[in-house]
């Protein structure tokens, strides 16, 4: 039996299937929420550290490494990625999906505040949550 003969024999079933799929698609298109900036909670926190005009090697030893070690102790941390340059360091902390990101951000601030006295004088930091309204999700350069 060929496919065309089978399709001819089951024409009503096939039409019913396509009609059901079209109806389900129409219902779904009107019930799904649509917004310019959907509410998305990415499990990422960014820590930016500024410590004057220190060379990158000195920044890595005196600032980046101690902060990474302190932040790594936070429960739920999946991975860390840091970029260190002259006088600045940026650490991206990735958490497990489903973590409370407000709590995670506060824990990051707390951990950095704990070790701030042991960092070089004049070191300042900023902790920000990854949010598609603040940071782009994708960038092209």
Q: What is the pLDDT of residue 135?
A: 63
Q: What is the DSSP string of 70-109?
A: HHHTSTTEEEEEEEEETTEEEEEEEE-TT--HHHHHHHHH
* Low-confidence stretches of the chain (pLDDT beneath 70): 36-38, 132-137, 141
Q: What is the pLDDT of residue 24?
A: 95
d(CA 17, CA 12) in angstroms, rounded, equals: 9
Contact yes or no for 64/82 (Cβ under 8 A): yes
Q: What is the pLDDT of residue 116?
A: 93
Residue 98: phi and psi, rounded to 5, are 95, -5
């Amino acid at each position: 039996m060929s496919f065309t003969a089978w399709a001819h024999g089951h024409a009503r079933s096939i039409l019913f299937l396509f009609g059901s799929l079209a109806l389900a698609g129409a219902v779904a298109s009107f019930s799904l929420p649509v917004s310019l900036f959907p509410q998305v909670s990415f499990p990422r926190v960014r820590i930016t550290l500024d410590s004057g005009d220190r060379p990158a090697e000195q920044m890595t030893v005196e600032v980046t490494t101690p902060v990474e070690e302190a932040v790594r102790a936070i429960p739920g941390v999946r991975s860390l990625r840091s970029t260190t340059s002259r006088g600045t360091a940026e650490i991206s902390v990735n958490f497990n999906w489903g973590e409370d990101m407000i709590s995670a951000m506060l824990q990051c601030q707390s951990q950095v505040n704990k070790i701030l006295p042991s960092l070089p004088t004049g070191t300042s930091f900023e902790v920000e949550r990854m949010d598609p309204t603040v940071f782009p999700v994708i960038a092209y350069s």
